[in-house]
């Protein structure tokens, strides 16, 4: 038989906002500003919590979410606006939005104004969840995702009930239904979200490779795909929602470096062929075409204009300009 649900009521001290000097919305009461109210119930090995709080910032190791690799946390916003922050991702959640914190690394939870949220914690090794990808700190579902919203409403309604008055059999049935619903919801959200996270990770890897290898005239969509272990079609899919293709991004990086080098007074004596080579172009003709398309000026005109305006803001470091010793 599943353990009986246990419900508790807590009050927590608030945490001042990180942006201490920014204007803060006026709280409606001292209690709203200085305290958080929560109601919790445990159904089997699932912990469900309804939380009301004022402006809050949880950014210390003992308060951050995601520090327990053995626990997944689903958060659904009922009212207000909250944010999740991580060095690799930031998300703002509004009413009916949801997020799943995967327990892979600490995540800061913050709100600049009063908010109400529903939380559901369950073991990461839960049956059916053992194969979840764990490459992201959290994944997000928006208000149009019906299943998390329905689960949030169900959890909120559960916490409003006096479950302790339910008969043992009824309590066990509620726990079984909740376990099934929560597991399927979290699985769907996590798999979809982690898939999106993996696409973003691969896209960033492609951009880093372009930034590191743009001087190589052999750099192309095909070589980037080979470096990432992808087919050319798979690489193209990574950038389908972007406004530029991989080839256009390579051209853009080379063009920007060529323009900066043409404006660098230390390279005034370098030939256009040398500038083109340093910037990854196979010929001066290719560089001229790219620079003129980007600026409306030929490389020679751009260099002359930079000389008239004087040295300074466009200069590269020695390493960037190609002047550093090997």
Write out the DSSP string of 28-65.
SSHHHHHEEEEEEEEETTEEEEEEEESSEEE-STTT-B
Is residue 23 included in any domain, yes or no?
no
Same domain, 41 and 178: yes
- Helix (H) or strand (E) holding 318, with range, is helix 318-321
Same domain, 190 and 263: no
Is residue 207 included in any domain, yes or no?
no
Domain that holds residue 267: 214-326
Same domain, 38 and 187: yes
pLDDT at 188: 66
Quick check: 306 and 265 in contact, CB under 8 A? Answer: yes
User: What does the alpha-carbon distance between residue 185 and residue 74 come to, in Å, rounded to a whole number?
Assistant: 10
Same domain, 34 and 183: yes
Is residue 128 included in any domain, yes or no?
yes
* Domain-ending residue, one of 197, 228, 255: 197
Same domain, 240 and 124: no
- Helix (H) or strand (E) holding 178, with range, is helix 168-213
Which residues sit opposite 86 in a β-bridge?
A: 89
Q: How many residues does the chain have?
A: 326
Same domain, 134 and 269: no
Quick check: 255 and 291 in contact, CB under 8 A? Answer: yes
Same domain, 41 and 188: yes
* Counted domains in the chain: 2
Same domain, 218 and 143: no
| Burial per residue of 152-181, b for 16 or more beta-carbon CB atoms within 10 angstroms, e otherwise | bebbbebbeeebeeeeeeebbebbeebbeb
Taking Cα atoms as reference points, which of 200, 192, 188 lies closest to residue 89? 200
* Domain-ending residue, one of 167, 197, 227: 197
Same domain, 64 and 106: yes
From first to last of the 326 residues of the chain, give the pLDDT tens digit. Answer: 444 444 433 333 333 333 332 333 333 333 334 468 988 888 778 888 999 999 999 999 889 998 888 888 999 999 999 999 988 788 999 998 888 888 878 999 999 999 999 998 888 776 555 545 556 788 888 777 777 778 888 888 888 876 667 677 777 787 788 877 777 777 667 655 555 656 777 887 898 899 999 999 899 999 999 999 989 988 988 888 777 899 999 999 999 999 999 999 889 899 999 999 999 998 999 999 999 999 999 999 999 988 887 654 444 444 444 544 33
Is residue 204 included in any domain, yes or no?
no
CATH code of the domain covering residue 240 = 1.10.10.60
* Domain-ending residue, one of 148, 172, 197: 197
Is residue 208 included in any domain, yes or no?
no
User: What does the alpha-carbon distance between residue 283 and residue 274 come to, in Å, rounded to a whole number?
Assistant: 10
Is residue 209 included in any domain, yes or no?
no
Same domain, 56 and 146: yes
CATH code of the domain covering residue 105 = 2.60.120.10
Is residue 203 included in any domain, yes or no?
no
Same domain, 169 and 222: no
pTM of the predicted model, to two decimals?
A: 0.53
Is residue 302 included in any domain, yes or no?
yes
Same domain, 275 and 303: yes
């Amino acid at each position: 038989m599943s353990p009986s649900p246990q419900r508790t009521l807590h009050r927590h001290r608030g945490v001042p906002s990180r942006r201490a000097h920014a204007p803060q919305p006026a709280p409606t009461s001292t209690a709203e500003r200085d305290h958080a109210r929560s109601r919790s119930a445990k159904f089997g090995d699932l912990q469900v919590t309804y939380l009301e709080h004022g402006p809050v910032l949880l950014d210390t190791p003992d308060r951050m979410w995601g520090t327990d690799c053995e626990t997944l946390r689903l958060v659904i916003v009922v009212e207000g606006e909250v944010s999740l922050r991580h060095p690799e991702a930031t998300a703002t959640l509004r009413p009916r939005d949801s997020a799943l914190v995967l327990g892979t690394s600490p995540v800061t939870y913050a709100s600049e104004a009063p908010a109400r949220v529903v939380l559901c914690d369950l073991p990461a090794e839960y049956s059916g969840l053992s194969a979840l990808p764990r490459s992201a700190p959290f994944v997000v579902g928006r208000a149009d995702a019906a299943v998390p919203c329905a689960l949030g409403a169900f959890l909120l309604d559960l916490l409003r009930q006096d479950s302790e008055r339910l008969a043992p059999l009824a309590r066990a049935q509620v726990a079984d239904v909740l376990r099934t619903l929560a597991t399927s919801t979290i699985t769907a959200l996590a798999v979809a979200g982690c898939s999106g996270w993996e696409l973003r990770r691969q896209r960033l890897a492609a951009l880093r490779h372009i930034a590191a290898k743009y001087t190589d005239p052999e750099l192309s969509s095909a070589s980037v795909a080979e470096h990432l272990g992808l087919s050319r079609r798979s690489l193209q899919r990574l950038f389908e929602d972007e406004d530029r293709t991989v080839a256009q991004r390579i051209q853009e990086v080379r063009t920007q470096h060529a323009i900066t080098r043409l404006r660098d007074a230390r390279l005034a004596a370098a030939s256009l062929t040398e500038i083109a080579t340093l910037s990854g172009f196979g010929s001066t003709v290719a560089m001229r075409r790219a620079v003129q398309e980007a600026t409306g000026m030929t490389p020679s005109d751009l260099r002359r204009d930079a000389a008239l305006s004087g040295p300074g803001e466009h200069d590269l470091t020695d390493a960037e300009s190609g002047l550093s010793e090997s």
